[in-house]
Each structure stands twice: as C-alpha cells, then as structure tokens.
Amino acid sequence: MKILVLNSGSSSVKFQVIETDLERMNAHEDQTLATGLVEKIGLADSRLVLKVPDRKSYSDYREILEHRAAIEWVLRILTDPEVGILGDVTDVGAVGHRVVHGGETFASSVLITPDVVQQIEECSVLAPLHNPPNLRGYYAAHAALPGVPHIAVFDTAFHQTMPPHAFLYGIPFQLYTKHALRRYGFHGTSHRYVAFRGSQILGWEKEEHNLITVHLGNGCSLAAIDHGKSIDTSMGFTPLEGLLMGTRTGDMDPAIVPWLMAMEEMTLHQVNTMMNKHSGLYGVSGVSSDMRELVEARAAGHQRADVAFRMFCYRVKKYIGA
C-alpha cells in the first residue's frame, strides 16, 4: 500500500509517498518513493519541488493561494505520466497528517473523524501557529481523497507517558487544572522512531529500551526513554524550552522577559519574536542559524561563532548528563 504523508504549514506543504512493503520494512530498506514540497502558498510565485530517487528533481512555479490548490497540485504532479510515480490517485491507500499538538487528549496516532477534528481544533489554543494550518492540510487532502483513511500523527503524543513530576511546572497547580499548562515536549515522532530503530540495531527487546534520543536540526530536543516510553524531554509547554537552537533561546531565566520589557521598552510580542526568531545560534553568533556556516566561520577565527558552537555543544552534553 502506498501512503501519502503530509506536513502542512502556514505557507507550505511538505509531502512524501511511502510504499509499505512488509518484506522491505523488515529488511529496513528505504521505501520512500518520492518527497517534495509546495512553498510560498498565498503568493503568485508558489513553487513545487518533487524529488524521486535516482531521478533529476522536478520543479514548477504557479500562483497557489490556499492549501486545497496546493494539495491538488501535488496529486496532479504525482500522477503525471512524465514526472510522477503514481498511476492514479486511487493508488494512495491512506494519508498521514502531521499534527503538532494533541494536548493531553491524544497519546497515539488516531484515525481522523469529525470528533477528532473538533478535538484538534480545541488543542489549537496550545499551538495557534501550527494546528490551524495542519487542519487546513487535512481538509484539503480529505476533499481530494475522500475515500481513504486519514491518520493524525501528533508531535506531542509520544511524550504523554511522562510522569507528573516530569511534566508539571513549579507554578500554582490550579493553572494546570484550568489551562493544562504543563510540559508537553515535541519531536515525538522522531524520538519514537529513533528509540525503536536504535533498539533494533542494538538487538534489544522492547523491555530493554533504556536510552537517550537526540533530535538535532534548526529545532533541537532530547528525550529520556525508559522501557520504550518517554519519561522526560527537553522541550516544554512550547518548543522554546531546552537546548540552544537555530533561532530559539532554549532555557533562560523567565524573569528576563519582564526585565527586557522594562529596560528595552519592548512589547510582549517583540520579546516573544526575539526569543523564537532572533536568538539561539543566530543571535549569539550574528552569523547564521545553520551549524555548517558556523563551523566555517569558527574555522576562520570568528569568535562569536566559536562561542555559539561551544554553547550548543555544552547544552547538549549538559542535558545528556542530566
């Protein structure tokens, strides 16, 4: 069966087509048939990129104003006789949707039903920038492929096994009971896969899955895995907590926020934007949020790039040691 995987953002749709052949799966062979994205949704020069193994990548430009048109464009290209990899849209047996936040409602992937859609909408208060576009992608894909199952896969679900002493904050308890204000963790699908695959490589049984998983990219997190379950992770209520990242601060004294608002006369929105978009490796180095560029700058003697590099490595080691 061929599965279409979608990651719908505010202005982009990333996609992947996977063949679920059991023999190849057991042999740990790559079953990716195609990957790609539609970017700059809402603009006149939207771009689609399709990458198929052992082929030259394909790209095209056109005006795509909303997610439904983007999904239709993806399906049209995937079934194109010259560049596609599907004979017909009916070759798609199921669609998997990345959903960032499942709150305390979802502890695993689920079949999307009207009730599930409503619950995802209710979780949008916890991820107002991510869940709404995730749902727009679902609506668009369901309209194009109404006859196949659609599955929601949540970033937060894997970490729902964290115990209260790991997920609660040291704030008045009624704020948790009223607003579900707690640590959720993210990158759960990545941590779950790395724990599973790492244990396979090591020849461990499930009950022996005691390890630390590390997800390093523009966003970074670690997770402590005990008997195959997440018992702690570095990210918190939002992806801002934890490690130093590409443009995010990671851990910092929360009293810095009101201090900046007073001393720099910044608004809350400005401070939030600074912490998420202008900090981390980029903010410290003044060079880039990309570690590859920092390594080059560091080798050329750039002192702030060296400091950012050392901060990043120190934070990773510190969390692993904890």
User: 26: burial class by Cβ within 10 Å (0-12, 13-18, 19+)?
Assistant: exposed
Count of CB atoms situated within 10 Å of the CB of 43: 12
Q: Write down the pTM of the prediction.
A: 0.90
Q: Contact, 212 vs 240, CB < 8 A? A: no
What value does the mean pLDDT take over residues 241-247?
Answer: 97
User: Catalytic site residues?
Assistant: 155
Is residue 120 left, alpha or beta, with left meaning phi > 0 and alpha meaning psi from -120 to 50?
alpha
Q: Beta strand 32-39 with 12-19: parallel, antiparallel or unpaired? A: antiparallel
Name residue, tokens 């194009």. Answer: 144
pLDDT for res 173 = 99
Question: Is the pLDDT reported for residue 92 higher than 80?
Answer: yes
User: 198: burial class by Cβ within 10 Å (0-12, 13-18, 19+)?
Assistant: middle
User: 261: burial class by Cβ within 10 Å (0-12, 13-18, 19+)?
Assistant: middle
Q: Kindly write down the DSSP assignment for every residue of 118-162, as one continuous string.
A: HHHHHGGGT-TTTHHHHHHHHHHHHHH-TTS-EEEEETTGGGGG-
For the chain, domains (ranges, CATH) are 2-154 (3.30.420.40), 164-239 (3.30.420.40), 241-322 (3.30.420.40)
Question: Is the pLDDT reported for residue 295 higher than 70?
Answer: yes
Q: Contact, 51 vs 34, CB < 8 A? A: yes
Short-list 33, 15, 16, CA closest to 24:
33
Distance CA 206, CA 200 (A): 9
Phi–psi pair at 208, nearest 5 degrees: -105, 5
Name residue, tokens 């949704």. Answer: 41
pLDDT for res 25 = 66
pLDDT digits (tens, 9 = 90+) for 114-171: 999 999 999 999 999 899 999 999 999 999 999 999 999 999 999 999 999 999 999 9
Asked which of 78-82, 205-209, 221-225, 288-292 is least confident by mean pLDDT, the reply is 205-209
Question: Is the pLDDT reported for residue 22 higher than 90?
Answer: no
Mean pLDDT (the chain, rounded): 95
pLDDT digits (tens, 9 = 90+) for 23-55: 766 666 778 999 999 999 999 999 999 999 999
Residue 18 forms beta bridges with which residues?
3, 32
What value does the mean pLDDT take over residues 69-74?
Answer: 95
What value does the mean pLDDT take over residues 244-259?
Answer: 98
